[in-house]
Every structure is written in C-alpha cells, then in structure tokens.
Amino acid sequence: MPSKTKPRAAKRPSPVVKGKPTASKPRGVAGKGKRSSAPKSKGPLVAAKPALLAGGNPQIAKADGDAPVQAYIAAMPGWKRDVGRRLDALIARTVPGVRKAVKWNSPFYGVEGQGWFLNFHTFTNYIKVAFFRGASLHPVPPGESKHKDVRYLDIHEDDPLDEAQMATWIRQAAALPGWVP
C-alpha cells in the first residue's frame, strides 16, 4: 500500500565561501528598504492565566515546590481562593518544612521520605480536603471514601473552618506514613 505522507525535502547545505559557511538571513528578516511582515511584540510577556477545568479547578502543570501550589491557589475562583490560602498557611505553620507539589491538578502536601499526607481539590460548590490516612485520625474526618484509609472534609462557602481541628488532623496525618504514588 502506498504511503500517504509526503516525502521530506532534502535540506540544502548552506553556501560555502573559501571553506566557511556564509551567513544567510533568517526567515522573516527583510532586506534593506523592505518591511518585515513578522508580528511585532506589544509590551512585556505576561503569563497566561491558568484554565479552569470542571468545577472551577485550576489546570496547573505537575511540579514540585511552593511556586506551583501558590499558582494553583491564586487561580482558584472566588471564595475558594481565600480558603485555599488559609489551608496552605495552616499546613505550613503546623508542619514546618512541609513538602509541596501540584499533581493531577491538586496541591499535595507531604513529609520528605514519608510520602503525601493531604491534598485538596476545587469543585463547583466546595473544596474537598483528602487525608490519605484519614481513617487513622482522631476524630475521624467525616467524609467517607471507597478507599478504606482515605477520609475527606468538604468545605462549602458558608462553612466555618475549624482551624484548631484542622491543625490537629494535619499534625496527626503528617506523623503517619504517607501515600506514595
């Protein structure tokens, strides 16, 4: 069966004068007296705003460190951004030296060498906080999971955030062996 792809054009060698290649003009560079048709830059480059996926969840590339987590939080819509900032600050205060990353469009928090203990994810009407070993926490977070060890806490717009209880769960979760993907 004949191939449907076009054959590639052979690359022409650059002209040589006395053993040295000559400089040729790059495409789009006009000669003397001619104007270039290349688009002109209109100011400094600005990073594109992250896309929001279903439920307003920010699409942030997988990466380790605080910067991608802060980019995720900054892109969270409306009231969720403030809750995200509060959660991040509470986790950082409760677990000094916490390891951060964005994976699967969610901020993850862990302890180096122990794995991940918590993440959160933005949905249309709430933020879901996942404790990967939540069934071992006291008291057990209220949201059940199809995974026996995982427990959730859903935070809605008008829900008060019990920072003392969250800090207790965070402290306990960070002390347990975490989830290693």
Higher pLDDT, 38 or 50: 50
Domain extents for the chain?
54-174
- pLDDT at position 7: 53
pTM over 0.85: no
- Segment 42-78, tens digit of pLDDT: 545 445 677 777 777 888 889 999 999 999 999 999 9
pLDDT at 28 over 90: no
pLDDT at 37 over 90: no
- pLDDT at position 55: 76
- pLDDT at position 2: 53
- Range 54-174: architecture per CATH: Alpha-Beta Complex (3.90)
- Segment 108-152, tens digit of pLDDT: 999 999 999 999 999 999 999 999 999 999 999 999 999 999 999
CA-CA distance, 123 to 53, in Å (whole number)? 9
Tokens of 58: 């920010």
Question: Cβ(111)–Cβ(174) under 8 Å?
Answer: yes
**Average pLDDT of the residues in 145-164:** 96
In percent, the amount of the chain with pLDDT more than 70 equals 73
DSSP string for residues in the chain:
----SPPPPPPPPPPEETTEEPP-PPTT---TT----SPPP-SS--PPPPPB-GGG-B----EESHHHHHHHHHHS-THHHHHHHHHHHHHHHHSTT-EEEEETTEEEEEETTTEEEEEEEE-SSEEEEEETTGGGSSSPPSB--SSTT-EEEEEETT----HHHHHHHHHHHHHS--B--
pLDDT at 41 over 50: no
Q: Please state, rounded to an integer, the average pLDDT across all residues of the chain.
A: 83
- pLDDT at position 149: 96
Handedness of CA 89, 95, 97, 103 (dihedral sign): negative
- pLDDT at position 52: 75
Residue 63 has phi, psi (to 5 degrees) of -170, 150
pLDDT at 173 over 90: yes
